[in-house]
């Protein structure tokens, strides 16, 4: 893999990732851009012991532009974009970040005595999987998926080494139903300055299990699912894809390596190759459920950067809010207000439907 970093016109970083070492990429951004916005503001919620990011500058971000004005396409003489030239995979700092290193000193600031404020330090990056605007991740060849995995690994390693970063989150949102603002196949990477609530809850459960048994919780859950078999959707030598027994979403799959690793950089070359094949299969099964592109969120759960890494177990969570043709699972009163999910599809039924899709 060849890695070519450049600096965009406003000082943000962009990195080309190429499968061939002889690839030559455009390194000059011909645009004139204003300076990037400052970091968001973090406000502490004392009622939930959580941090909330307030990023008002994101109101002006690009929203569903026409195909000939997509900022993720390679630049042309007629239209200059975020990417100066053609590419295989490219990663760059988000122009409208929720977190960034461009912080404003707010030491000692607060909204009230119970709501302190601190800068939204961190980093948000965009990952473009292909220069082809009209395709989707599902249509990529395994070799391109492998290059994406290598890019995720590169960024996870570098961001994890940044002082002040507590977790690195790689994800993809697909479909207007999910809320995407750009149709070009892409994902994002967030480097958080704190542990997100989901990770805090998972770490607490993993710690209780380890203290009681001396074993890793996710490893035990995976072993139990493989033994039961009824919710397993696909598997190969290195990975198993299954519907969790307590799935929150109508169609939700966990894709986990058979070997406990903390994060994407820890995956071996063989594990990365095997992931590309099985992940594409699962995505195609999602699309085949209702004979059309399935809106989804694909979320990598990596171990925290610092404390509790031994409790983590890398896995990818893929889920959709579509519960039937033409019907979406809305996060209404119980889910949004109380955090109590009510699933309309049994995990066993979902697993059967996914296995029955003809590929």
The tokens for 336 are: 């949004």
Using a 10 angstrom Cβ sphere, with 0-12 exposed, 13-18 middle and 19 or more buried, the burial of residue 139 is middle
SS3 for 112?
strand
Please report which residue ranges of the chain form alpha helices under DSSP H.
142-160, 197-213, 217-228, 269-289, 347-355
The verdict on whether 183 is a catalytic residue reads no
For the beta carbon of residue 181, count every other beta carbon within 10 angstroms: 13
For the beta carbon of residue 163, count every other beta carbon within 10 angstroms: 5
Which of 322, 266, 280 minimizes the C-alpha distance to 297? Answer: 322
Q: Which of 186, 209, 301, 315 is catalytic?
A: 186
Which of 43, 105, 97, 95 minimizes the C-alpha distance to 71? Answer: 95
Alpha-carbon span 190 to 169, nearest angstrom: 5
The tokens for 330 are: 């809305």
Catalytic residues: 186
């Amino acid at each position: 893999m060849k890695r070519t970093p450049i600096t965009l016109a406003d000082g943000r970083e962009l990195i080309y990732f190429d499968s061939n070492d002889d690839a030559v990429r455009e390194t000059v951004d011909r645009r004139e851009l204003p300076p990037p916005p400052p970091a968001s503001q973090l406000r502490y919620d004392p009622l939930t012991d959580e941090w909330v990011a307030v990023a008002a500058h994101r109101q002006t971000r690009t929203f569903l532009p026409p195909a000939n004005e997509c900022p993720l396409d390679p630049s042309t003489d007629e239209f200059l974009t975020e990417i100066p030239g053609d590419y295989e995979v490219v990663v760059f700092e988000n122009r409208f970040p929720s977190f960034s290193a461009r912080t404003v000193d707010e030491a000692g600031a607060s909204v009230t005595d119970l709501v302190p404020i601190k800068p939204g330090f961190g980093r948000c990056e965009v990952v473009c999987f292909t220069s082809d605007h009209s395709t989707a991740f599902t249509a990529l060849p395994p070799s391109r998926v492998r290059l994406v995995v290598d890019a995720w690994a590169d960024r996870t390693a570098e961001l994890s080494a940044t002082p002040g970063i507590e977790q690195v989150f790689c994800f993809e949102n697909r479909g207007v139903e999910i809320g995407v603002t750009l149709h070009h196949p892409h994902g994002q990477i967030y480097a958080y300055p704190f542990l997100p609530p989901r990770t805090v809850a998972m770490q607490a459960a993993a710690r209780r299990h380890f203290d009681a048994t001396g074993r890793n919780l996710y490893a035990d859950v995976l072993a139990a699912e493989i033994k039961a078999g009824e919710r397993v959707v696909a598997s190969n030598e290195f990975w198993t894809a299954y519907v969790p027994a307590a799935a929150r979403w109508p169609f939700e799959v966990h894709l986990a390596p058979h070997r406990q690793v903390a994060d994407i950089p820890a995956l071996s070359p063989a594990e990365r190759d095997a992931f590309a094949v099985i992940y594409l299969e699962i995505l195609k099964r999602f699309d085949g459920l209702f004979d059309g592109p399935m809106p989804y969120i694909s979320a990598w759960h990596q171990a925290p950067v610092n404390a509790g890494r031994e409790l983590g177990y890398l896995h990818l969570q893929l889920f959709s809010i579509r519960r039937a043709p033409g019907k979406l699972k809305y996060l209404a009163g119980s889910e949004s207000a109380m955090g109590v999910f009510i699933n309309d599809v049994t995990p066993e039924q979902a697993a059967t439907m996914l296995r029955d899709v003809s590929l």
